[in-house]
Amino acid sequence: MDAEVELKENHKTLAEHHRLLKIYPYLEELGENLVRQIDSTNCFCTICSIVTSVHYVSRHVQNDEHMRELNKAVLRAETYKPCEEPPNVNTVDLNNKK
C-alpha cells in the first residue's frame, strides 16, 4: 500500500474523523451524491473528495467528472454487496448426527 493510501485509510479510523462525520451529516436534498456541508460557505463531496462552494455544489453534482465517479462508486457497491440468504432456506446442522 503506498503512503498516500495508507495515510487516508488511517485518517478514517481517527476519533476526530468520526466526530466530524456525526456533526456534518450528508445533505438529504443531494441524495446519493454524498455531499456534506462543512461550514456556512463550503461543502465536501465524498465521491470526488473535494471541497466546493455551497453556491456551486448543485452544478458540481451534475458535472461529468462527478457523475463518472458516482457511477464507479455505485458499481463498486453493487459488486461487493453481500449475498442475501434466500427466504425459507433450511440449514443443515453438520454437528447433529441423527
How confident is the model over 51-90, as pLDDT tens digits?
999 999 999 999 999 999 999 999 988 887 777 766 665 5
The residue count of the chain comes to 98
Cα 50 versus chain centre, distance? 14
Which H or E run contains 50? strand 50-53
Cell numbers linked to 41: 460557505
pLDDT per position as a tens digit, 28-49: 999 899 999 999 999 999 999 9
d(CA 72, CA 41): 28
Instruction: Answer yes or no: are the C-beta atoms of 50 and 44 closer than 8 Å.
Output: yes
